[in-house]
Amino acid sequence: MAQAIKLSELTSRKRRVEETNNSEEESDINISSTDSEKEDEEAENGTKKEDDGEEIVNIDFDFFSGNPNVDFHALKNLMRQLFGAQESNRIQLSALADLILESPTTTIKTDGQESDPYCFLSFINYKENRKCDYVQYLKKIDNRLSTFFDTIDGNNNKTCALVMSERLINMPPEVVPPLYKITLEDVSNSLGDGKHYDFYIIVSRKYEVNFDMEEDDGESGSRSKKRVKQNEIDYFHEEDRFFEKHSKIHFQSEAKKGVIASYIMIDHEGLVKSIDEFEKEIASW
């Protein structure tokens, strides 16, 4: 499987357009040759500058199935980024990378199939791998997860996938909807008869931003200010906002060095709805 999508085709964010009512003045200078040379240079470099000085770079993102001969070490590094240095020591990343590459997995690359992936998404069948190291790790995180897994174990009609996904920090979120749609189609082909998983466990992360704000000291008639520490939580993965919104279970860890682990259980309807809503959100940018 290989599909190429240009970033310019994925991005539909609004750009500021300056309008002017001034009529064009005649000039003795012939600028046609200068414009032509500029356009040739932009075409050669794959860049284009908008009127407001913003430079647009066209990048081809190729979507490939996971390749065990190429992607193993890159996936380990991306998972180490996802879990963080401390939690990564509690997980057998090599075994998990093998499991990912045996499951429906999509990677995104920019320099051909043999290059390292910048992003990946994988759906691991829980029931077929319930005894693996990663599942045992998840069961120790929180009773809500272990209770959920016990419920799935006791119901032969319900299925669950462990969703593994991470990307380099500068990857545009516009790649996420097609990434999920492609991989979900591969999952359906893998399960056969157009089937899908009933539930998904998503592990992700957020970050905490601390800053100081000035507020009135509260004393009547006083103009003095006092500094108050504030903190905000933001997302590494913008799609998580929508996953949390439609989740059945969601909780998160305490911040460790500003990073917060996030755990989401969502059903299939909620997952599809989240991706659709995120895609519409992107279109409004």
What CA–CA distances, in Å, run from 129 to 95, 141, 196?
Answer: 11, 18, 17
Chain segment 45-62, per-residue pLDDT in tens? 565 555 566 677 788 899
Q: Which sequence spans correspond to the domains of the chain? A: 2-6+57-218+227-283
Please say if the pLDDT value at position 174 is more than 70. Answer: yes
For position 27, what pLDDT does the model report?
39
pLDDT for 185 beyond 80: yes
pLDDT score of 104 = 98
Q: What is the pLDDT of residues 108-127, one digit of tens each?
A: 999 999 999 999 999 999 99
What is the domain class of 2-6+57-218+227-283 according to CATH? alpha beta
> What's the pLDDT at 227?
73
Which of 211, 269, 222 minimizes the C-alpha distance to 245?
269
**Mean pLDDT (the chain, rounded):** 85
**201-219 mean pLDDT:** 81
- Is the dihedral angle over the CA atoms 83, 141, 266, 257 positive or is it negative? negative
- Residue 16 host element (H or E): none
Return the pLDDT at 59.
Answer: 82
| Radius of gyration of the chain measured on its C-alpha atoms | 24
263 vs 21, more confident:
263
Q: For residue 196, which of 211, 183, 177 has the smallest C-alpha distance?
A: 183
Of 5-14, 64-73, 238-247, the poorest mean pLDDT is in 5-14
Task: Look up the pTM and report it.
Answer: 0.79
